[in-house]
Amino acid sequence: MGNRRPLRCDALVVSCIDFRLQAHLDAWLSSVLGYGTYDRVALAGGVKDREVVLAQVALAARLHGIRLVLLLNHEDCGAYGAEGTPDRHRDDLRAIQHRIQAELPDLAVVLGYMQLDGAFVHVPATEGTPAQSLAAVVRDVLRGPES
């Protein structure tokens, strides 16, 4: 047991438990991150409970040496109910991103919003920054600055 390799993966993906999104999410993650390269946490409301999300991020960083945190909320989220407007999701995603970066500054954090039709939308970290392809942003982060 003493000579086991350290466990490493590239990313932690935090998303909602909503069953309606799982097929889209599985296919998208496989195409963007590949198989066996990420940890995955599903929580009702995605990032709604910031303390739980932060604890999971810290654990994945410590246990698996992640480099990227991908935070995904989605439209028509039952955990948010009537409060689940696109603006609220964007604000919540940005708030937990700031917390993660303050507490774990070596981690890259990418924000996304899933639509029920399977579309994945990039949520820029700051207002006024143009949105890009979510898949391209994730790939660029994992590729690193030396590419």
Q: Which domains does the chain have, with CATH numbers?
A: 11-143 (3.40.1050.10)
Among 143, 130, 109, 117, residue whose Cα is nearest residue 14: 109
CA distance 67 to 12: 8
- The answer, yes or no, to whether residue 9 has pLDDT greater than 50, is yes
Which percentage of the chain shows pLDDT scores above 70?
Answer: 94
Q: Are 39 and 64 in contact (CB under 8 A)?
A: yes
Which percentage of the chain shows pLDDT scores above 90?
Answer: 83
Among 120, 119, 102, residue whose Cα is nearest residue 111: 120
Summarize the confidence of residues 9-23 as an average pLDDT.
96
User: For the chain, where are the alpha helices, taking DSSP H only?
Assistant: 22-32, 50-64, 86-103, 134-143
The alpha carbon of 45 is separated from its chain's Cα centroid by a whole number of angstroms, namely 13
- Identify the H or E element spanning 100: helix 86-103
pLDDT tier, 127 (very low <50, low <70, confident <90, very high otherwise): confident
**Does this model's pTM top 0.85?**
yes
Q: Are 16 and 74 in contact (CB under 8 A)?
A: yes
- The answer, yes or no, to whether residue 3 has pLDDT greater than 90, is no
Q: How many helices (H) and strands (E) does the chain have?
A: 4, 5
CA distance 83 to 95: 16
Return the DSSP state at 112. Answer: E
Name the amino acid, one letter, at 108: A
- The answer, yes or no, to whether residue 1 has pLDDT greater than 50, is no
Angstrom distances, CA of residue 32 to CA of 13, 26, 38, 62? 12, 10, 11, 23
For the segment 72-84, what is each residue's pLDDT rounded down to a tens digit? 999 999 999 999 9
Angle at 39 between CA 56 and CA 63, to 5 degrees: 60
